[in-house]
Chain A
Amino acid sequence: MPSENLYELTSLAILEGRDSLPEQQLTGETSPLAGLINQLLRENQTLRHDHQRAVEYIRAKINQLLMVIGTVPLRAEELTEEHLIDLDPLGIVAQSFARILEHSRETNRKLALARDEIQAIFQSVGGSLLVLNEKQRIISYNENFRASFCPDQEEIIGKGCHEIICKRDSPPADFCILQKLQATGRGCTMSPWPFADRYLRVVATPIKDNAGAIIQTVLLYVDITELIETRSALSAEKERLATTLESIAEGVIATDTEGRVTMLNRVAEKLTGWEARQAIGKSICEVLQIENQEPLGSCGDFFQDLLQSQIPVERVENTNLTALDGSALSIYLSAAPIRQPDQSVTGAIIVFRDISGEQRIKEELAKAAKLESIGLFAGGIAHDFNNLLTAILGNVSLARAQLSPDHAVFQLLNETEKSSNRAKGLTQQLLTFARGGAPITSLTSSRTLIIDSARFPLSGTNVRLDFAVPDELWPFEVDEGQISQVLQNLVLNASQAMPEGGLLRVAAANLQLDADPGLPLPFGRYLKISVVDQGPGIPAENLDRIFEPFYTTKSTGQGLGLAICYSIIKKHRGLLTVESSPPDGTAFHIYLPASEQQLEVAEITETVEVKSGRILVMDDDEMILSVVRAMLEFSGYEVVEVEDGETAIAVYKKALESGGRFDAVLIDLTIRGGLGGKEAIARLRSLDPGIRAIVSSGYASDPIMSDYRSYGFCGVIPKPYRAQELTATISAAIRGGRETA
């Protein structure tokens, strides 16, 4: 069957991909059909071929598009022909492209915005900006740069920064930030960079390509002159403040608003015992432990009040500060809130001062003032008392002189005179206590003075006295009353140190100082007097202070006794020392210059050499006038009495004019309500430069008494005095006058 054969041949041709049937089929009865089949076979092949090309075209285009996107082409097995249509890959890619374009437009818009932003920043930044290319030529600059560095320059683009800023042909070999940038490859800063009379901060920032090479550089110049100057001024100010705080005498502590210490100066460290590094951050109340009844209260209350009320506290006294080591100080304290210019409070400042010393001085001054008023009172009494004693002693000595020594009354008068002499000693002490005046010295037997003075305070005690005072002791020129007081004081102290009794040794010796004995005394002849007790001794810590005024360990003591002793010995150009080694008793040593003079053995007061002459006596005390008249007339003098200076001058002038000049004048230093001795002698000397005047006073401490010669007197006689002393002084004055005349 020919049609069946044709069918098979056609199927085979399709299968084998041929475009024609075998030649023999084109003949015979099937040839028209075979011709048609051949045509169809050829068309089929063409169609297949076209299909293949279309698929390849689509694949190629998809791959091309994928390459455009930036990915890799698809492998054939990744996309079969069937998926090629079903999946719609072109559609997918196209849609993706739409998104990519959209994203790209968005990115462009953002870039444009960013560029505008950068341009705005570039122009408005508070500094000069330059952008350099890889050859370090300027490709961009801002207006600030032009105004600051080259207002008149027309061409800036294309120049090197060294041409415009450094004004040179090539970049400087050193101090160029670009070199630093090239060397490190990183952004760098130079600050402060001196430029003309300004200081700049220069910041160089590199812009790199993907390979890390610098393709552009941004340079920023900021003028920091003001900052540098402000910083330097601030640092100077800080330094000044710190120096001030360290050099003031007050302690200063600053705190924050919570009361934590932020600063304390050196004085505050010393007073509180806290070191700054320990104290900072601690509560003020821990560091400054103060106690005050009124008006501060406790530290916490006080501080809270201060920060709440914000009212400064000024100079609050009677405040006690307990230091870290537990020691207590008396302080005054001021405190104030620290305010900012906007009035807000940022903390507090506390200023305090150690007034323990001032307090002590105040107390001592009060004591001294009290003592001075007692002294004035005592001085007044002593003066009157001396006048009374002058009358008693004068009358007694006169009465005795009129009796023979074997008369029954003679001995009684002797006893009266002795008692009066003791009373005289007492007023001397009173006066020394009152004024501690300059000593009125006279050549004195040291031995007699030592023994008499040491015995006196021991009557009625069970202290045994042992003297080691040699007969050949040198005499000295001392104020008997004062030295006697020193000895009495030392002996009294020693006996008080032995309330149960004991042995008190008083020793004296001549001492020639000619090699350095370690004593602060010039070389020469001295008397050393020692008072040694068997008491408990004085502890070493008290030994240094026992000569200080008002220092006492006795509950009833004034602390004056040893201080007066020290001062008296000092005024005699001597030295008072103490040694003690508890419990073996205490020794006080007195060193006094010895006199070169020999003591006259006979009492000159008993011999009356001149018993004639006219004496003018000036005293405001009638009792004194009468006893002096009696004493002088008894000795053979003629006496004229006056009660004040004016009268004395008038009488002396009248006598002078009438040719009856007075042989001597006895003048009382103090005249109540009238012209006193000091003024009287000045005027009398102008009348008669050769006047023989003797000054007398109950105030032994008056400087005129110890320095009478420079005031124009030729003699001195402290009250009270006995007849022999008075006549001896008067006759010495008259004799001196006759010798010089």
Chain B
Amino acid sequence: MSNDPQSRIIQVDMRGQVCPSTLLVAMDNLNRHGEGLQSGALKLLIITDNREALHTVPATAENMGYAARITKTTSHYEILIGLPDQER
């Protein structure tokens, strides 16, 4: 998944949050922005400090036909979700 400057990035910051589940919030956002994500107009950036989400969020995104890329910073993780390269 490339950093396409054409795509708008929607940021969802879930640091310090246990409830509700990061996965469910991520899924909710993926559903809500489904159209934008599928057309390539949008990307979703999930900011979290929940290590578990690093597995569950990308797995779910891939099932839905998206690609996810994880970036680690000193204090948190960023999961960038969008269309896979070959479908753009």
Interface residues of A (CB under 8 A from B): 66, 69-72, 74, 77-80, 83, 87, 89, 92-93, 95-96, 99-100, 102-103, 106-107
Contact = CB atoms under 8 A, between A and B. Distances in A.
A95 B29 CA distance: 11
B23 A71 contact: yes
B10 interface: no
Contacts of A92: 24, 27-28, 31
A106 B52 CA distance: 29
Interface of B: 18-24, 27-28, 30-31, 34, 52, 55-56, 59-60, 63-65
A660 B56 CA distance: 153
Contacts of A79: 19-21, 24
Given A71-B59, A103-B64, A80 B27 contact: no
Which 5 residue pairs across A and B have the least CB separation, nearest first? A103-B65, A71-B56, A78-B21, A95-B31, A83-B20
B54 to A, nearest CB: 11
Nearest to A83: B20
A72 B31 contact: no
Nearest to B20: A83
B59 A70 contact: yes
Nearest to A70: B59
Contacts of A100: 63-65
Contacts, number: 68
26 contacts: A66-B56, A69-B59, A69-B60, A71-B55, A71-B56, A77-B19, A78-B20, A79-B20, A79-B21, A79-B24, A80-B20, A87-B28, A89-B20, A89-B21, A89-B24, A93-B24, A95-B31, A96-B27, A96-B30, A96-B60, A99-B65, A100-B63, A100-B64, A102-B65, A103-B63, A103-B64
Contacts of B56: 66, 71-72
Contacts of A70: 59-60, 63
A77 B18 contact: yes
Contacts of A89: 20-21, 24
Given A92-B24, A99-B30, A106-B65, A83 B19 contact: yes
Contacts of B21: 74, 78-79, 89
B11 to A, nearest CB: 19
Contacts of B64: 96, 99-100, 103
Given A71-B55, A71-B59, A96 B31 contact: yes
Given A92-B28, A95-B31, A74 B23 contact: yes
A102 B65 CA distance: 9
A79 B28 CA distance: 14
B31 A99 contact: yes
B14 to A, nearest CB: 11
A93 B56 CA distance: 13
Given A79-B21, A99-B34, A72 B60 contact: no
A62 to B, nearest CB: 8
B20 A71 contact: no
Contact of B19 (A78, A93, A106): A78
Nearest to A84: B20
Contacts of B28: 87, 92
A83 B28 CA distance: 13
A93 B21 CA distance: 12
Contacts of B27: 92-93, 95-96
Contacts of A71: 23, 55-56, 59-60
Contacts of B59: 69-71
Contact of B55 (A72, A74, A99): A72
Contacts of A95: 27, 31
Nearest to A99: B64
A74 B23 CA distance: 9
A89 B22 CA distance: 12
Given A78-B20, A100-B64, A107-B65, 10 more contacts: A72-B52, A74-B21, A78-B24, A79-B19, A79-B20, A83-B19, A92-B27, A92-B28, A100-B63, A103-B65
Contacts of A69: 59-60, 63
Most buried by B among A72, A78, A89: A78
A102 B63 CA distance: 10
B64 to A, nearest CB: 5
Nearest to B34: A99
B20 to A, nearest CB: 4
A77 B24 CA distance: 13
B31 A80 contact: no
A330 to B, nearest CB: 70
Contacts of B63: 69-70, 100, 103
A70 to B, nearest CB: 5
Nearest to A95: B31
A93 B23 CA distance: 10
B8 to A, nearest CB: 20
Contacts of B65: 99-100, 102-103, 106-107
A244 B59 CA distance: 71
Contacts of B34: 99
A20 to B, nearest CB: 36
A74 B24 CA distance: 9
A609 B44 CA distance: 148
A506 B9 CA distance: 119
Contacts of B31: 92, 95-96, 99
